[in-house]
Structure formats: structure tokens, C-alpha cells
């Protein structure tokens, strides 16, 4: 970016941010909105997009990892950036919670986005909002639908490892458990299938052997050919292979599309929890719909990820705008 543009938008950001602060102070129960930073940071979207694009160009899987960060943030006490806080000797965050440890990644990319954004609009954009924009840009870059992102979240001053352990469903979950985890954050079975369960998320990205070993070895409900293939990369009960990676969607591992639904209909979900969505139960009809119709899938995915972004956000004068996403101010 040319330095004249940067300094122009920098001074504009300083000016307008003063007004924004007054507005925020005035309405403690603010709602999220699409144009929250339009005046205070007009270069926000291109700045985020550039940094996310560069990160995914370096490593395609990063797009998947970044999308997942938003999910793992929102399911634990709302979309408040709590997953980004580092552990310290006196503070236990969420990064080492069971669903996250050795598994979630992308924090360096979030740091890069934050520092690019602080460069043009210092002190204005929350880390929680950045996760929402980063997730959208990742999906678009991987070939999925675009959607307008609601903004205005503020960052948590705390995190909860216990809540992270509790709220993010494990891959051993059955359908009932998946539905109840979604209900706990105000999402329904349609969101589960149209979005999480649809494995739209799981049409991109990788899973570690430890998360699917039981499933490929011990369950009868999985396609035989897929089970054989995956066993090769995950040879035994020996934990030495725990971190071997396999694509969640073997048809198109780094493209965001609806192919995962074909996999489910053919009993080729890689995770037990994935195949639960096509197991003769109440989610089957939606899985069939999305396997036939990429349009229905894209439309419902956008509705659901927007709903997830609304989960218990901190707004108004709650929380803070972190200067560094890894620690409270
Ligand atoms: C419905 C319950 C869900 C379960 C049980 C589940 C479970 C998992 C597991 C076990 C992995 C592999 C992690 C590893 O081996 O390290 C994974 C990966 C992933 N999940 Fe989910 N997930 C669920 C919902 C979602 C949702 C709602 C999203 C996004 C909005 C999502 C996005 C992803 C992505 C993108 C990856 C690949 C990450 C990467 O490659 O770095 N998942 N999930
Ligand atoms: C969360 O789960 C991890 C891994 O199982 C465990 O070590 C940790 O003690 C749990 N934390 C809380 C607060 O329950
Ligand atoms: C499959 O189940 C058997 C019996 O419950 C167990 O001993 C074995 O460890 C399981 N295999 C894997 C790979 O988890």
C-alpha cells in the first residue's frame, strides 16, 4: 500500500475514531451492524483481505484453520476473541483446552491481520470482529460464497478453558450430542447440517489420525474403501501416528464446496460426528438436499454462519478493543 494512502487514512481514522467512542459510550446495548466501521475505518476490508490472501497463498490449509478459529471462538461464551488469549503463568486461556490443543492454528495470521489493521486504523477494530471477517475472506478465497459480515463485537477480558472443554462438541459425538451443543448456543439442527454438519467447514481442511482412528477401525457404518485407505495413513492403535493428517473431504480437500454431502450419502464422512448427519435420522433430508443443490447449501451456510456470529457478542461498553489479540489491555 502506498504510504500516502496509509497516512491519509491513518489521520482520518484518528479523527473518526473519536466520534465513534462518543457513540459507543452513549449506547451500551448496541447491536451488531454491517456498516459499523464504514466511517471509522474505510480500508478495513481490503486490509484484512490482503493479509488473509497472502497467508492462504503460502499455505492453503490456513484458510480452513482460520474458519475453524471463528467457530471455536463463538461456541465458547460468544464471539468475543477469547480463543486468541495466550496462557500465562497466572492466566489459563482456551488454547490448551481439549478441542484446541495441538489442533487449532492460525494465530500468527490473526496477529498479522491485527497489526496491518492497527497500522491503518489504530485502536478501533476488535479481535473478535477480525475473526469474523477473516473467516468470511477465507471461505471466499477457498471458492465458497461471500456474505456481508455483521460487526461491532468487543473483546473479552477473560477466557474459559472449562467452557471450551464443555461447549465444543468432540468428533465422537452422536447426533443427539451435536444437536444439544448447537442448541446451547442458540443454533438449531438446520444450522448444524446447513453449516457445521453440512461439513461445509469440513469440505476444507485436515484431520489428525487420533480423531478418526476409532471410526475407521471399529465402526461398520463407514464405506469399506474409505476405511481401508485411511487405515494406511493411520496404521494402528499406536499413539505414535496420532498426528498423521488426512483430508476431511477426500474429493476436494482444499476447495470449499458441497462435495462433502456426496461423501456422507456414500458413508464416507471421515469423522464419526460427520456421518451422524446421515445415519437414517432427522438430518438425512437436509444432507440429501445439499448433496444435490450447491445453491441451497451456499444460501443456508451464509444464514447459519451469520447466526453463529451473533452468538452472545459483547457490544456497547462491555469488553474492550484489544491492542494485541493475545492479551488483554
Ligand atoms: C458439528 C460439530 C463439529 C465437530 C465434532 C468438529 C470436529 C472437528 C475435528 C475433530 C476436526 C479435525 C481437527 C484435528 O484433527 O486437529 C475438525 C476440523 C475442522 N473443522 Fe470442525 N467440527 C465441527 C463443526 C465445525 C464447524 C461449525 C466449523 C466451522 C464453522 C468447523 C470447521 C472445521 C475446519 C475448517 C476444520 C479443518 C481445520 C484445519 O484444517 O486446520 N467444524 N473439526
Ligand atoms: C480441559 O481439558 C484438558 C484436556 O483434557 C484438561 O487437561 C484440562 O484440565 C481441562 N480444563 C478444565 C478447566 O476443565
Ligand atoms: C476397537 O475396539 C476394540 C474393542 O473395544 C478396542 O480394543 C480397540 O482398541 C479399538 N481399536 C481402535 C483402533 O480404537
Average pLDDT over every residue of 308-317: 91
Q: Please, what sign has the CA dihedral across residues 281, 285, 286, 287?
A: positive
Whole-prediction pTM: 0.83
The residues pairing with 247 across neighbouring beta strands, listed in sequence order, are 206
- Pairing, β 245-247 against β 206-208: antiparallel
Share of the chain above pLDDT 90, in %: 57
162 or 5, greater pLDDT = 162
**Considering the chain, what is the average pLDDT of its residues?**
83
Distance 63 CA to ligand 2 centre (A): 27
Tally of CB atoms within 10 A around 257: 18
Fold of 191-301: Peroxidase; domain 2 (1.10.420)
165 within ligand 2 shell (Cβ under 6 A): yes
Judge whether residue 249 has pLDDT over 90: no
Q: Minimum mean pLDDT among 61-75, 93-107, 154-168, 251-265: which range?
A: 251-265
Q: Whose CA is nearest to atom 11 of ligand 2?
A: 162
Question: What pLDDT is attached to residue 240?
Answer: 62
Q: What is the CA radius of gyration of the chain?
A: 20
Looking from the CA of residue 101, the nearest atom of ligand 2 is: 4
How far is Cα 244 from Cα 205, in angstroms, rounded to an integer?
13
197-220 residue pLDDT tens: 434 345 545 677 777 777 777 776
Angle between helices 107-120 and 44-58 (to 10 degrees): 150
Q: What is the DSSP letter of 94?
A: S
Q: Where are the domains of the chain?
A: 191-301
Contact 68, 62 (CB under 8 A): no
194 or 42, greater pLDDT = 42
57 within ligand 2 shell (Cβ under 6 A): no
Q: Minimum mean pLDDT among 7-11, 158-162, 293-297: which range?
A: 7-11
214-240 residue pLDDT tens: 777 777 667 777 777 777 777 766 666
Amino acid at each position: 500500500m502506498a504510504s500516502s494512502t496509509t497516512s491519509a487514512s491513518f489521520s482520518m481514522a484518528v479523527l473518526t475514531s473519536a466520534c465513534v467512542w462518543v457513540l459507543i459510550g452513549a449506547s451500551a446495548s448496541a447491536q451488531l451492524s454491517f456498516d459499523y466501521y464504514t466511517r471509522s475505518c474505510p480500508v478495513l476490508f481490503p486490509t484484512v483481505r490482503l493479509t488473509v490472501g497472502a497467508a492462504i497463498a503460502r499455505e492453503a490449509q490456513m484458510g480452513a484453520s482460520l474458519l475453524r478459529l471463528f467457530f471455536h471462538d463463538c461456541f465458547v461464551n460468544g464471539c468475543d476473541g477469547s480463543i486468541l488469549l495466550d496462557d500465562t503463568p497466572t492466566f489459563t486461556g482456551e488454547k490448551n483446552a481439549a478441542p484446541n490443543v495441538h489442533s487449532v492454528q492460525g494465530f500468527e495470521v490473526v496477529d498479522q491481520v491485527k497489526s496491518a489493521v492497527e497500522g491503518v486504523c489504530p485502536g478501533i477494530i476488535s479481535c473478535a470482529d477480525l475473526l469474523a471477517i477473516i473467516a468470511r475472506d477465507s471461505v471466499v478465497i477457498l471458492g465458497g460464497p461471500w456474505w456481508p459480515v455483521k460487526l461491532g463485537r468487543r473483546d473479552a477480558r477473560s477466557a474459559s478453558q472449562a467452557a471450551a472443554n464443555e461447549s465444543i462438541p468432540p468428533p465422537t459425538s452422536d447426533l443427539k450430542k451435536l444437536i444439544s451443543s448447537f442448541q446451547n448456543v442458540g443454533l438449531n439442527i438446520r444450522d448444524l447440517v446447513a453449516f457445521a454438519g453440512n461439513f461445509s467447514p469440513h469440505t476444507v481442511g485436515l484431520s489428525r489420525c487420533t480423531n478418526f482412528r476409532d471410526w475407521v477401525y471399529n465402526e461398520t457404518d463407514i464405506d469399506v474403501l474409505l476405511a481401508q485407505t485411511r487405515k494406511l495413513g493411520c496404521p494402528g492403535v499406536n499413539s505414535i501416528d496420532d498426528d498423521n493428517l488426512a483430508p476431511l473431504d477426500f474429493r476436494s480437500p482444499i476447495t470449499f464446496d458441497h462435495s462433502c454431502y456426496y461423501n456422507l450419502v456414500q458413508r464416507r464422512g471421515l469423522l464419526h460426528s460427520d456421518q451422524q448427519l446421515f445415519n437414517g435420522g432427522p438430518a438425512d433430508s437436509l444432507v440429501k438436499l445439499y448433496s444435490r443443490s450447491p445453491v441451497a447449501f451456499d444460501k443456508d451456510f451464509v444464514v447459519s454462519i451469520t447466526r453463529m456470529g451473533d452468538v452472545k457478542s459483547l457490544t456497547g461498553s462491555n469488553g474492550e478493543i484489544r491492542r494485541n489479540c493475545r492479551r488483554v489491555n
